[in-house]
Amino acid sequence: MSNKNTILVPTDFSEIASNALGHALKIADVYKNEITLLSIIDDGGLFSMFGNTEKSELVNEALNARMDKIIEESHKTYPSVKINTLIEHGKIYKTIAEVADKGDYDSIIMGTNGASGMQQITGSNASRVINYATKPVVVVKEKSIGSGYKIIVVPIDLTRESRQKLTWAIHVAKKFNSTIHIIYENTTNEEFRNKIHAVINASQNILDEKGAKYLVRGLDEDKYPDSFVEDTLAYANNVDADLIMVMSQQEKGFSEFLLGSYAQQIVNHSGAVPIMCINSNDAGVILDGVFG
């Protein structure tokens, strides 16, 4: 698998998009990535009023000026990170996924806060992007990256896809000297308990072989009585996690078709903790020296 060693960062110039760029800059500095700052004109939305070529050129000039200003500010802290710019037209969530695919980007880092109006990218589009994207997507909310992802929460269940994310967790943990928190539901169902313990033992063998720092926590029903989504988020908040790592395309039960995938639910309901969503097709791929 090839890639261009570049992180795609969509922006609508909101505060939460700026925070997402902060995450991307730190990651790019550590992994020696480049960044492409992407601005999207939704032709069917707010910018549909700009119908002629002259007005479109004025919009492009204004967007380029704003992105140039962002680059200037970013280089004050990260002077060695190369930042490119790109303006595209189209439906936001589809355009982000298509640009990442066609441009062979390593990963997508974007903000979300449920905003509306001008904050088009950081609204509900993030949860849609993770369904369309084949690249890893880091969804950022309020929490800044600080010195890096020191505590990474990795929820494990019985799906094959769930276990694949360990490779990525180890890859990130090695660069940031992180501790990986493996969590699972610790129920009274004996059949489930036996199966999940076998999965956890296999996961520990992988982590031990790679020399990763980790701990394992079973979430007891008395302290964590809710769904695995809610319990994952509660645990992440309790340990002040820096990153939650999930799969973006796991098998869906009937309730998930109604409520959205596990990844979508995590993204939509998470508080401040960033979420890294990994497509199962890329879960086993690691490229030395790059984030994604």
Give the DSSP per-residue string, 223-244: T--S-HHHHHHHHHHHTT-SEE
Q: Does 6-140 match 151-282 in CATH topology?
A: yes
Domain boundaries, the chain: 6-140, 151-282
Cα-only R_g, the chain: 19
- Selected residue with higher pLDDT from 137 and 49: 137
6-140 maps to which CATH number? 3.40.50.620
Q: What pLDDT is attached to residue 125?
A: 77
CB atoms within 10 A of CB 189: 10
pLDDT band at 210 (very low <50, low <70, confident <90, very high): very high
Q: Are strands 151-155 and 243-247 parallel, antiparallel or unpaired?
A: parallel
Record the pTM.
Answer: 0.85
Nearest to 290 by CA among 66, 60, 32, 53: 32
Highest mean pLDDT pick, 79-83, 269-273, 278-282 = 79-83
- Selected residue with higher pLDDT from 138 and 141: 138
H helix runs in 78-119, sequence order = 92-102
13, 67, 161, 255 from 122: Cα distances, Å:
9, 16, 27, 26
Nearest to 270 by CA among 146, 114, 117: 114
Checking if the pLDDT of 260 tops 70, the result is: no
Separation of first and last alpha carbons in the chain: 11
Checking if the pLDDT of 267 tops 70, the result is: yes
Pick among 3.40.50.620, 3.30.565.10, 3.30.70.20, 1.10.3720.10: CATH of 151-282: 3.40.50.620
Nearest to 199 by CA among 171, 231, 160: 160
Q: What is the mean pLDDT of residues 82-90?
A: 95
Q: What pLDDT is attached to residue 263?
A: 73
Contact 162, 156 (CB under 8 A): yes
**pLDDT over 90 percentage in the chain:** 54
Q: What pLDDT is attached to residue 249?
A: 60
Which of 38-47, 186-195, 238-247 is least confident? 38-47
Nearest-angstrom CA–CA distance, 157 and 184: 6
- Selected residue with higher pLDDT from 130 and 239: 239
- Interacting residues of 173 by C-beta distance below 8 A, sequence separation 6+: 149, 152, 179, 180, 212, 213
Q: In what order do the strands lie in the sheet with 6-10?
A: 83-89, 34-41, 6-10, 107-111, 137-140, 275-278, 243-247, 151-155, 179-186, 213-220
pLDDT band at 266 (very low <50, low <70, confident <90, very high): confident
Partners of 109 in beta bridges: 138
